[in-house]
Amino acid sequence: MKECLYLEVPTPDTNAVCTWLQQTWTPVVGAKIITPDGIRLQSATVPSELSIFVWSVQRSTYLKAFRWGDKPFAREKQILSQLTIDLRQQFPQTYPKPPEIDLSQQSIFEALAPYYPETVHFFKKMPNGEYDLTRCYWWEKRWRQGVRNPKQPQQVIFETPTQDNASPDYDLIYIGGALGVVHAAVMAQLGYRVLLVERLPFGRMNREWNISRDEFQSLINLGLFTPAEFETLIAREYKDGFNKFFDSNNPPHLKSKVLHTPTVLNIAIDSEKLLRLCGERLRNAGGEIWDETEFERADISENAVTVALKSLKTGETQTATGRLLMDAMGTASPIAWQLNGGRAFDSICPTVGGVVRGLKPEVWDSDYGDVLNSHGDISRGRQLIWELFPVEEDYLTIYLFHYHQIHPDNPGSLLEMYEDFFTILPEYRRCEMEDLEWKKPTFGYIPGHFTVGERDRVVAFDRLLAIGDAASLQSPLVFTGFGSLVRNLPRLTTLLDFALKNDLLQTKHLRKIHAYQSNIAVTWLFSKGMMVPTGATLPPERINAMLNTFFGLLANEPPEVADTFIKDRFTWFTFNRLALKAAFMNPRLIPWIWEQGGTHDLLRWLGSYFNFGLSSLIGLLFAWFPAFLPRLQPWLESRYPSLWLRLLSFSYTLNAGMGRRYTGGVKLSPPNRVGVPSEVSS
């Protein structure tokens, strides 16, 4: 018996494919015999036959053809080629989009039930299901609008020559209350007048956060939390995390063992409690929070930024003035779309899931996490990947996501993903869906930017700075904007504090304040290799083969190598050593990525790689600089503040820009500020 053909047919209607195969399709030769799941083809001239059958998994259909016999079936290649072409014509790849609905005439449940029945059914079981499903629909519609019109994004930032001699109401205005409140609380404790604007009721989250102890330590060092408070924020700490990808259809040398990562994302944070505590810190330091308030536009003058806001509770328009506007609105940020035009983001991870309990102990031990897992091959143009993390009590947070190329015809659908999630969860972890208890949904778009250098993406404008997912600076493997923000918070805080003290709030100054890491920038090629280009058809097993190549390689390395790589702390030498080993293990890896990404992106990546090498060389040559810089501070900081900001940013780039902790020892002495945290002053 020999496998001759393996295809994915991009439709959840497996019965329709089977019926077409049995009743409609006519092979060029051979007698067709009906079987329960397909057909058999017999030949009168050779003692062989072809068995063709279909099955369903991941809400898609898969087909295989096996030859029974020692000799090829009559005109075998022609038959299988004809079958492939006919299947592609009969069941083409489609990219569904949500319907246009009018919620003044019906509820979100009534409007979406004909299109997403499983999604509606299970959102009804959630405490705030109607509100959350409406938000999910709104987020997808807003995202699609930006993708469809990338060259003409909505203008929300306006420059005005008008100058107001009155002092601004605030030093900092943050738009976005999830990641925004973490940063805002730190700056408020430094003595700045802070306003936080949030579209949702403050403290509500549609994402859960995981991190490791050593990474969270930066928030403790900054004085935002005490060690004891950090312990109260831990919803669960698991013993080990697993990384494993489906490899049943991979050749033997591309099958891999489980990669264990016990210190990667092993701390599940009670995100809503963290937000509440940050909100308390912010208010206690004199800051304000305006929740259920939507950002509409910002007018930037030479000495202030005026923000127009709309209360979602009353419909009234409000304004606020500040010295600096902080964009923390995430992937839906209209500011990010305007500033970056057609290249706001290069990729996205549509992510859905929920916080749930009811999985039986024999199915999953809550002391363990699934960091990255797949249970099937490419499904309807996506390689679906699972994450599972224990949280408080016996709840689990389960995510389903995929790496996605942004395309106007195929922006990526949260609602379609949710229909997948609720349908195929029992395939991933054996469970009775009706027995599960749902606490809340978790969803969002996690952005990615194929960065060549630190200036490749616009994260700053006069009196405006982006952070978190709005800045699209995060790892392509497991970290979102939360991980990037936490790891780089000392860097961002120190630089921003100095810029505010010296009124260095023009673009040329603010672009020095960022979370860019050259070692992360070079890894975007991995995420490119995990995407199925819109309109393309790949062998179903290919992406799993690439993932197993790399994660199998890490599984054979010492544990600290995997930990360092996945936490984005790897060096140029480590990257090259692992890349060469991966290429030796799977010589087709680069041609595969080239085919999926194209020559243009491969050349762009070579720019990232060159920049990574150059940054590493500069880091070696100037390794002495962070320790030397404090000697210049007494006379340089006050005389030449702009130059000092540049040098301080460069000093951080040598350490934090490569994923390492800053070791500079620079002293800040902010006038008229509440006590500076130890991480800033050490």
Q: What is the pLDDT of residues 223-232, one digit of tens each?
A: 899 999 999 9
In a domain, 444, yes or no: yes
Whether 219 and 196 share a structural domain: yes
Whether the pLDDT of residue 492 is over 50: the answer is: yes
Report yes or no: 198 and 290 within 8 Å, Cβ to Cβ. yes
The predicted model gives 94-115 an average pLDDT of 94
Of the pLDDT bands very low, low, confident and very high (cuts 50, 70, 90), residue 608 is: confident
The predicted model gives 175-182 an average pLDDT of 88
The predicted model gives 508-530 an average pLDDT of 83
Provide the pLDDT for residue 676: 35
Whether 331 and 403 share a structural domain: no
Provide the pLDDT for residue 208: 79
Domain that holds residue 364: 108-152+347-448
Whether 114 and 133 share a structural domain: yes
pLDDT digits (tens, 9 = 90+) for 343-372: 557 788 899 999 999 999 888 998 999 999
Report yes or no: 374 and 427 within 8 Å, Cβ to Cβ. no
In a domain, 27, yes or no: yes
Provide the pLDDT for residue 672: 41
Whether the pLDDT of residue 600 is over 60: the answer is: yes
**CATH number of the domain encompassing residue 34:** 3.30.310
Provide the pLDDT for residue 190: 94
The predicted model gives 155-162 an average pLDDT of 87
Angle at alpha carbon of residue 211, lines to 206 and 217, rounded to 5°? 125
**CATH number of the domain encompassing residue 245:** 3.50.50.60
In a domain, 47, yes or no: yes
In a domain, 401, yes or no: yes
Provide the pLDDT for residue 659: 59
pTM: 0.88
Please tell me which residue, 581 or 151, carries the higher pLDDT value: 581
Whether 444 and 461 share a structural domain: no
Lowest mean pLDDT among 44-53, 338-347, 428-437, 516-525: 338-347
CA distance 106 to 319: 33
Task: Using the 3D structure, point to which of 574, 604, 621 is the last residue of a domain.
Answer: 621
Of the pLDDT bands very low, low, confident and very high (cuts 50, 70, 90), residue 647 is: very high
Whether 570 and 601 share a structural domain: yes
Whether 66 and 79 share a structural domain: yes
Whether the pLDDT of residue 675 is over 50: the answer is: no
Percent of the chain with pLDDT over 90: 60
CA distance 262 to 165: 56
Provide the pLDDT for residue 148: 79
The predicted model gives 478-484 an average pLDDT of 64
Of the pLDDT bands very low, low, confident and very high (cuts 50, 70, 90), residue 195 is: very high
Whether the pLDDT of residue 476 is over 60: the answer is: no
pLDDT digits (tens, 9 = 90+) for 622-636: 999 998 999 999 889
CA distance 304 to 281: 25
Of the pLDDT bands very low, low, confident and very high (cuts 50, 70, 90), residue 678 is: very low
In a domain, 632, yes or no: no
Report yes or no: 657 and 199 within 8 Å, Cβ to Cβ. no
Whether 146 and 164 share a structural domain: no
pLDDT averaged over every residue in the chain: 88
In a domain, 673, yes or no: no
Provide the pLDDT for residue 455: 65
The predicted model gives 537-562 an average pLDDT of 94
Provide the pLDDT for residue 344: 58
Whether 261 and 325 share a structural domain: yes
Whether 335 and 257 share a structural domain: yes
Whether 134 and 255 share a structural domain: no
Of the pLDDT bands very low, low, confident and very high (cuts 50, 70, 90), residue 336 is: confident
How far, rounded to the nearest angstrom, does the alpha carbon of residue 489 sit from its chain's CA centroid? 19
Percent of the chain with pLDDT over 70: 91
Exposure class string for 168-201: b at 16+ Cβ within 10 A, else e: bbbbbbbbbbbbbbbbbbbbbbbbbbbbbbbbbe
Of the pLDDT bands very low, low, confident and very high (cuts 50, 70, 90), residue 405 is: confident
Coil, strand or helix: which one is 574? helix
Burial of 159 (0-12, 13-18, 19+ CB in 10 A): exposed
Lowest mean pLDDT among 78-82, 428-432, 492-496, 590-594: 590-594
* Number of domains within the chain: 3
Provide the pLDDT for residue 117: 98
Task: Using the 3D structure, point to which of 448, 466, 494 is the last residue of a domain.
Answer: 448
Whether the pLDDT of residue 669 is over 50: the answer is: no
In a domain, 230, yes or no: yes
Provide the pLDDT for residue 674: 37
Whether the pLDDT of residue 679 is over 50: the answer is: no
Whether 578 and 438 share a structural domain: no
The predicted model gives 378-407 an average pLDDT of 93
In a domain, 664, yes or no: no
Task: Using the 3D structure, point to which of 582, 605, 621 is the last residue of a domain.
Answer: 621
Whether 513 and 415 share a structural domain: no
